């Protein structure tokens, strides 16, 4: 038996295992989406409080982006991402035991901390197993395809929540996540990388160079609107379709699953479009505009336009996020060695900068319900606000900066 052949083939097992971990990673983030109305009724929460649970996740997720890379170096990437999955699983389990807003908020924040630790650590494992010519494909499968599958599974679980009730639904998700974490712990192999004193000095200087990079800050600030409104949209859609538009749970689940599955083909497509055109910032701007149009389509309450919005939205948001990650990695003055730090800074700016948007959307909805009741029109101001915020954030990007660099 050729040991080298076995070793080469084993990397695909690693990819499959980390792929399942990514499914759970995204499922945890959006696990509360199909259960919002049930959680609200059971705990007596307003829509602003319900959307604050997503804000809590974003605070934990965003605040841990850069720190997670350093922590992965200290304890090892495998231990770090296994710990991340376990933290998310346990936080989701205790969320099922919540008795009010405060403890639910804390549990979602803890889940976000786990999520913040996951991406950098899991990527480091893939980097060790896949050569450069295969790495993009491997990351695309894990962070693109599998991430999209997780969103689709979470967003389309309306019927499952109705059958199990929201507490048992969250328990089930946590059990599945812990099982996947245990399998990854048992079968994923990772060689610890020793860091010399010189490497730590180089790391410090590289991080300072990243932190002072003006263009990273500007493009990240311009993407805040698209990211924050996308989180609000993905979280609110199942409740909007079932409670306000009175779609049956089956149809709402199909629409939500189409929205999530759209991330699978449209993620690579958004990158390919920018690669072919040789321009990324115009694609980010166009993607933000398309996101705003998708929200406005819902204002019409025309069923066909709602379906079109659901289909187009994954392409629109991926035009923003995929090219944001690509462009901050490509700045020559940063260098390949510190591209992950640039990505971490960009994501930290985007996530923390937009964490208030889901809460704002929920508050606007509460005010509208008090005025017009639980009808589709209650969302009118929500969709207008999300569209406006998406476009207003683009002001952070000077026109000359768009022309100067791709």
- For 248, which DSSP code? -
Q: Please give the share of the chain, as a percent, with pLDDT higher than 90.
A: 48
Pick from 146-150, 304-308, 331-335, 355-359: least confident: 331-335
Question: What pLDDT, in 10s, does the model give residues 251-269?
Answer: 988 898 888 888 878 777 7
Rounded to whole angstroms, how far apart are CA atoms 384 and 160?
Answer: 31
Residue 222 has pLDDT above 60, yes or no: yes
User: Which DSSP string do the residues of 325-341 spell out, in sequence order?
Assistant: HHHHHH-TTT-GGGHHH
Rounded to whole angstroms, how far apart are CA atoms 166 and 55?
Answer: 19
Domain boundaries, the chain: 1-194, 196-406
Cα R_g (the chain), whole angstroms:
21
Question: What pLDDT, in 10s, does the model give residues 362-395?
Answer: 999 999 999 988 888 899 999 999 999 999 999 8
Rounded mean pLDDT of 44-49?
A: 94
Residue 337 has pLDDT above 70, yes or no: no
Higher pLDDT, 34 or 67: 34
Q: Confirm whether 1-194 and 196-406 share one CATH topology.
A: yes
Residue 245 pLDDT:
86
Would you say 190 and 277 are in contact if contact means Cβ atoms under 8 Å apart?
A: no
Q: Please list the alpha-helical segments (H only) found in 240-262.
A: 249-261
Spell out the residues 6+ positions from residue 404 whose beta carbon is closer than 8 angstroms to its own. Answer: none
Distance (Å) of CA 370 to CA 107, 364, 381 = 29, 10, 13
Please report which confidence band the pLDDT of residue 325 belongs to, taking 50, 70 and 90 as the band edges. confident
Would you say 256 and 158 are in contact if contact means Cβ atoms under 8 Å apart?
A: yes
| Residue linked to tokens 């500007």 | 218
| Residue linked to tokens 């993905």 | 234
Residue 293 pLDDT:
97
Domain 196-406, classified CATH 1.20.910.10, yes or no? no
The CATH class, in words, for 1-194 is mainly alpha
Q: Please give the share of the chain, as a percent, with pLDDT higher than 70.
A: 86
Question: What pLDDT, in 10s, does the model give residues 266-308?
Answer: 777 776 776 677 667 888 899 999 999 999 999 888 899 999 9
Rounded to whole angstroms, how far apart are CA atoms 282 and 178?
Answer: 41
Segment holding 347, helix H or strand E: helix 339-354
């Amino acid at each position: 038996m050729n040991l080298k052949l076995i070793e080469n083939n084993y990397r695909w097992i690693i990819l499959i295992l980390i792929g399942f971990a990514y499914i759970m990673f995204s499922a945890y983030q959006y696990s509360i989406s199909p259960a919002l109305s049930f959680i609200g009724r059971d705990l007596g929460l307003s829509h602003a409080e319900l959307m604050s649970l997503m804000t809590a996740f974003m605070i934990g997720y965003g605040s841990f982006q850069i720190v997670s890379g350093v922590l992965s170096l200290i304890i090892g990437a495998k231990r770090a991402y296994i710990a991340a999955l376990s933290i998310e699983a346990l936080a989701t389990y205790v969320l099922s035991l919540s008795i009010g807003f405060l403890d639910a908020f804390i549990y979602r924040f803890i889940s976000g901390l786990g999520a913040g630790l996951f991406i950098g650590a899991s990527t480091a494992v893939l980097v060790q197993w896949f050569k450069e010519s295969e790495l993009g494909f491997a990351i695309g499968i894990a962070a693109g395809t599998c991430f999209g599958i997780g969103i689709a599974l979470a967003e389309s679980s309306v019927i499952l929540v109705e059958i199990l009730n929201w507490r048992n639904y969250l328990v089930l998700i946590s059990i599945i996540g812990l099982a996947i974490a245990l399998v990854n712990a048992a079968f994923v192999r990772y060689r610890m990388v020793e860091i010399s004193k010189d490497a730590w000095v180089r790391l410090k200087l590289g991080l300072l160079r990243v932190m002072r990079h003006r263009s990273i800050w500007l493009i990240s600030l311009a993407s805040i609107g698209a990211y924050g409104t996308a989180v609000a949209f993905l979280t609110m859609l199942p409740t909007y379709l079932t409670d306000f538009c009175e779609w049956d749970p089956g149809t709402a689940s199909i629409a939500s699953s189409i929205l999530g599955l759209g991330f699978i083909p449209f993620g690579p497509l958004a990158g390919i479009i920018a690669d072919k055109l040789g321009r990324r910032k115009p694609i980010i701007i166009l993607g933000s505009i398309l996101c705003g149009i998708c929200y406005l389509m819902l204002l019409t309450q025309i069923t066909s336009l709602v379906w079109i919005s659901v289909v187009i939205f994954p392409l629109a948001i991926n035009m923003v996020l995929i090219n944001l990650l690509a462009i901050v990695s490509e700045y020559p003055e940063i260098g390949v060695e510190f591209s992950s730090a640039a990505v971490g800074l960009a994501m930290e700016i985007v996530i923390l900068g937009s964490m208030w948007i889901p809460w704002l959307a929920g508050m606007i909805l509460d005010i509208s319900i008090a005025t017009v009741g639980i009808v589709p029109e209650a969302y009118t101001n929500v969709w207008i606000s999300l569209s406006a915020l998406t476009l207003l954030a683009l002001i952070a990007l000077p026109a000359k900066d768009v022309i100067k660099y791709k």
